[in-house]
Structure 1
Amino acid sequence: MSDAPDDEVLVGGNVTPVVRRGDAVHRQAGEWTPAVHLLLRTLHHAGIDEVPEPRGFDQFGREILSFVPGETLADAAPRVLWSVDVLRSAARLLRRIHDASVPLVADPSLVWRSPRREPAEVICHNDFATYNLLVRGETLSGAIDFDFASPGSRAWDLSYLAYRIVPFAEDAPHTEGLDRRIRLDALIRAYGGGVAADEIIATAADRLDDLRAFTLGRRRATGRVDFAEHAAMYGRDAERLRGPRPWAISLS
């Protein structure tokens, strides 16, 4: 397989390489890709234009998606990364995605890359985090990387967003002065309620257990030392979230 000379390899993908060609992105496809493309088309039909639009496949069998412009939120300046307005916008976008995805939950013909988790209420992004959210200036502009989407609960997705944007992650930078209780309450309210803060914290810890196991599997498959380091962090963070004072953890 070879790419055109002007292809741009996009950084940040830990699983599959991503190449930009003009206004399109080309990436490895799999048996899950038709389900993901249906999800993305469903979102666009619901008026959610902040996500990639599927454009079929290239001559190498890779999927083609529209390029969503913007800077990765994780790479934005701290005032943008930890903006309460961006936090609320992320929660509202996730709610719109969840609500539009409901008709796909019960379709037995769809093959997803990640396992189905009960209660299956919506199609979860399963990695809705600062590194998969885009901003333009100080405004949230998009969400990318839906490859690991699958049916699951609203709390499963919202809890991981909380882990990364409240944040509770050990590797979150520049968190001095952030009030995590206030930020989590703002996230839940912007999502539209339906879940309690204690449920989000408990689910986030379970989510990290799952992510730790997945990352250790990636470590064995690739030999990459950084995956082991990430898995260890997820374990420490899960332990903190299950502790008596998760709001008071100091990460900076």
Structure 2
Amino acid sequence: MEQELSGGNMDPVMRVDDTVRRVAGPWTPAVHAWLDACEAAGIAGVPRALGIDERGREILTYLDGAVLADAEPDVRWSEGILGAAAGLLRSIHDASVPLVADTGLSWRSPRHAPAQVICHNDFATYNLIVRAGALVGVIDFDFASPGSRLWDLAYLAYRIVPYAEDAADSDQLDRERRLRLLIDAYGISFAPDDVRAAAAGRLDELAAFTRGRARETARVDFLDHAAMYERDAARLRHLGPFG
């Protein structure tokens, strides 16, 4: 019996027993190569690629747990989970390095210079899975592509520090402290200003992409999302305070 999972804004995502079935495409072999590299590196927090089903959908293992974005505030904004998320991102980045130069792989998203690693491109609270107050892993690798470590870390910062306008229950958080903790947990000494600047650039691209999706689908809510990304990018560039 198939059960539709929430969060499939682009394509339907179905659960079948202990597996997940998703629409496959030209990018799927590349994504599976990355998931295989993570498995070979002993990284537990990613789905395993199990091939293609009889309907042409990719088959992945199901990560049991809840989406971090839906967790209670004490879990959602836990400094322990923030650090674990940065550590997991570093691990999957490191595992991806041999794939960056493989010109035989086709990715769904554009390549961003400097291409240092394979970026998840959506490593955020709504794709992080928690169980019993601890981070279990990350899902939704479909929009991966080569890019910089900072590109991915900056978007995680946007969502988990957080700098997003729609981040509920975050008014009392010490964002400067949380950003420093995130950078330290990732393990490369990025300057906080560089992380915020990269996040603003990431939001510029995301706003343009989301406006394009609004035109394709006639979904007005996409326009609302795009406008929020633009406001948040402006704030990250110090053009106005976070409210």
After TM superposition, the score normalised by the length of structure 1 is 0.95
Q: Deviations over 1:105-128 (max 9, x none)?
A: 011100000011100000000000
C-alpha distance in structure 1 between counterparts of 2:105 and 2:189, whole Å: 27
SS for the counterpart of 1:218 is helix
Matched, 1:203 2:184: no
Q: Confirm whether residue 45 of structure 1 aligns to residue 43 of structure 2.
A: no
Structure 1 CA distance, aligned partners of 2:40 and 2:189? 25
Which residue of structure 2 aligns with residue 125 of structure 1? 120
What residue in structure 2 maps to residue 159 of structure 1? 154
Deviation for aligned residue 1:37: 0.4
State the number of aligned residues: 243
Structure 1 residue identity aligned to 2:94:
D
2:53 alignment counterpart:
58
1:179-234 per-residue CA deviation (whole Å, 9 max, x = no partner) reads 10000000000000231111100000000000001101110111111100000000
For the 8 Å contact 2:100–2:115, the answer to whether it is kept is yes
Distance 1:174 1:67 in 2: 29
The aligned counterpart of 2:164 is 169
Equivalent residue for 1:249? 242
> Does the alignment pair 1:217 with 2:212?
yes
CA deviation digits over 1:123-180, x for unaligned, max 9? 0000000000000111000100000001000000000000000000000000121010
Question: How big is the shift at 1:244?
Answer: 5.7
1:58 Cα deviation (Å)? Answer: 1.0
Aligned equivalent of 2:176: 181
C-alpha displacement at 1:70, in angstroms?
1.0
Structure-2 separation of matches of 1:55 and 1:207: 31
Distance in 1 (alpha carbons) for counterparts of 2:177 and 2:136? 24
CA-to-aligned-CA distance 1:8-65 (integer Å, 9 cap, x gap): 1001111010000000000100000000000000001000121011111111101010
Unaligned runs of 5+ residues in structure 1 are 1-5
SS of 1:11's partner is coil
- Pick aligned residue for 1:10 from 1, 5, 14: 5
Name which of 92, 98, 102 aligns with 2:97. Answer: 102
- Contact (CA 8 Å) 1:70, 1:142: kept in 2 or not? no
1:85-112 residue CA offsets vs partner (Å, 9 max, x unmatched): 0000000000001111100001110000
> Match for 2:136: what amino acid?
S
Give the corresponding residue for 2:188: 193
1:232 aligned onto 2:242: no
Q: Identity across aligned pairs (percent)? A: 61
Q: Tell me, which stretches of 5 or more residues in structure 2 are unaligned? A: none
Runs of 4+ in 1 over 4 A off after TM superposition: none
Q: TM-score, normalised by structure 2?
A: 0.98
